[in-house]
Amino acid sequence: MGEAEDPPAVSSGGVDDALAADLATKLTVNGTSYKPLADGEYDAIVLGTGLTECVISGILSVAGLKVLHADRNDYYGGACASLNLEQMYSQMKPAAADGSPAAPPAALNLGRARDYLVDRVPKFILAGGEFVRVLVHTGVAKYLEFKLVDGSFVFASGRPHKVPATPKEAMTSGLMSLFEKNRCRQFFSYVHSYEPTDPSTHGGLDLTKLPMSGLYSHFGLQPDTIAFVGHALALYRDDSYLQRPAVETVTKVQLYATSLARHGRSPYLYPLYGLGELPQAFARLAAVHGGTYMLATPVDEVLTDPSGRAVGIRSGDAAATAKYVVGDPSYFPDKASVVGRTVRRYCLLSGPPPNTRDATSCQIILPASSVSPPRTHDIYVLVLSDAHKVCPSGKYLALVSTTVEGAAPSDDLEAVAAQLQPGVNLLGEVLDSFVVVDDALAPKGDGSADGVFVSRSYDASTHFESTVVDVLDMYKRMFGKELDLSATAAAASGAGGGGGGGGGSGS
């Protein structure tokens, strides 16, 4: 990225020797003096320790910028923190009649509360995806241990099926009829041999102009096949991609197949002890590169220059300055707007979901067109167990999530959660569950005018691909260019190798 630009000019005030020691410990912004917050002067200030903010902080740190990373909470993770069982009940269940916090019912025999690490926004990591490259680029991968996710499934004909991603898997899949298997095999053979720069692999088709719907038609694929290719392989969240150039989807399907080939059984990875380890890993990274993490630090004001451009933050009577101010939407309510709602149901299970071959961890995607009545947005199911050290042996954690559709009242959680029922029906016995509905927020501007760069809320998907898109978009908005991860591509190919064993076959 090159050398960091200088942060906004900050005056240290007076010239009298008797005042020098005192003035050296103050910052003056727009004529007002403040105590320095930590070191006082930084290249970038990042607010919130959610996954997006931690990743962008890590990228800035390794690029040589001095970063202050602050959070109003006294714990890491923000909206995607990890909770133990007691915290889940106290935060997500109604209080008792006497006003005391809800607690795990003894009759459920759930085990020790501290043995649970429930990620508020769990997302699997595509082994060959951009997020692995970002982890390697920042050096955070060395602080974490990953384990392979057992299975990747797609819902069709009333039950989960293993997602086929190769010509061989297409011929053995229970998703399709014999004739459709052959058409799908031909489609996969074309996709996997396609090279953008080699016309001999194009089969006379120009995928930069042909929409994806046209490529499906070319191979005669049926709606159910189109659904799992677009949503379980290319990982699109709706069908708008059908009218975009086919080369985009082909590239995504190739990425999924590459990720699957890397470890053989599943394309996804997840950290042992959950995603709560990520913010702490980035905190270590910031310290190595001279940055500072500060928890329990309320942000009372974003300081601006006379033109209205952000130059820092104030916390009480202390302040810090920087050229870039970055954060999650909760820190900038006037700079973000509600663009939708996401509903999540967290479930405690006594065993793995049926039809997943006893997988200790898995993802099930229910394409919007596969459920009744059909929806616009997909439903996602993510399952974890003690194999990833997030709950006691014999217990499973599941998350079912989707984008809220229609005008269900926000104060009636169960009415909203009814939209998740097709996914909940796949889980088997549910010991207890918790429902949360969150507003989906997006920045109103790109940050170029006011110097405040706001992230997006986490969507309903159970994989990191959309989150990485937001991180890379924020980087481009800040610096006017794409983040170059090419130098780490070779290293990334070996990431995630640790802890790959264990669990069911997921087939």
Using the predicted structure, report yes or no on whether residue 333 has a pLDDT greater than 70.
Answer: yes
Residue 214 confidence class, pLDDT cut points 50, 70, 90: very high
Using the predicted structure, report yes or no on whether residue 494 has a pLDDT greater than 60.
Answer: no
Closest CA to 283 of 8, 61, 38: 61
Using the predicted structure, report yes or no on whether residue 11 has a pLDDT greater than 90.
Answer: no
Using the predicted structure, report yes or no on whether residue 322 has a pLDDT greater than 50.
Answer: yes
Window from 12-16, 36-40, 116-120, 183-187 with minimum mean pLDDT: 12-16
The structure tokens listed for 416 are 């909203």
CA torsion sign for 397, 402, 408, 409 is positive
Count of helix runs (H) and strand runs (E) in the chain: 14, 22
C-alpha neighbours within 13 Å on the C-beta side of residue 146 = 23
Residue 433 class from Cβ within 10 Å (0-12 exposed, 13-18 middle, 19+ buried)? middle
What is the mean pLDDT of the segment spanning 38-63?
Answer: 92
Contact at 8 Å (CB) between 468 and 130? yes
Could you read off the pLDDT of 154-163 as tens digits, one per residue? 999 899 999 8
Helix (H) or strand (E) holding 280: helix 277-288
Distance CA 212, CA 506 (A): 29
Domains observed in the chain: 17-79+275-336+442-492 (3.50.50.60), 84-127+138-149+338-441 (3.30.519.10), 164-263 (1.10.405.10)
Using the predicted structure, report yes or no on whether residue 4 has a pLDDT greater than 50.
Answer: no
Could you read off the pLDDT of 354-396 as tens digits, one per residue? 999 899 999 999 999 999 888 999 999 999 999 999 999 999 9
The rounded mean pLDDT for the chain is 88
Gyration radius (Cα) of the chain, Å: 24
Helix (H) or strand (E) holding 193: helix 178-193
Model pLDDT, residue 364: 96
Model pLDDT, residue 290: 83
Q: Which amino acid is at 297?
A: T
Contact at 8 Å (CB) between 123 and 385? no
Using the predicted structure, report yes or no on whether residue 47 has a pLDDT greater than 90.
Answer: yes
Contact at 8 Å (CB) between 72 and 43? no
Using the predicted structure, report yes or no on whether residue 254 has a pLDDT greater than 80.
Answer: yes
Residue 24 confidence class, pLDDT cut points 50, 70, 90: low
pTM of the predicted structure, to 2 decimals = 0.86
Residue 66 confidence class, pLDDT cut points 50, 70, 90: very high
What is the mean pLDDT of the segment spanning 173-196?
Answer: 92
Residue 288 class from Cβ within 10 Å (0-12 exposed, 13-18 middle, 19+ buried)? exposed
Distance CA 439, CA 489 (A): 35
Distance CA 381, CA 416 (A): 17
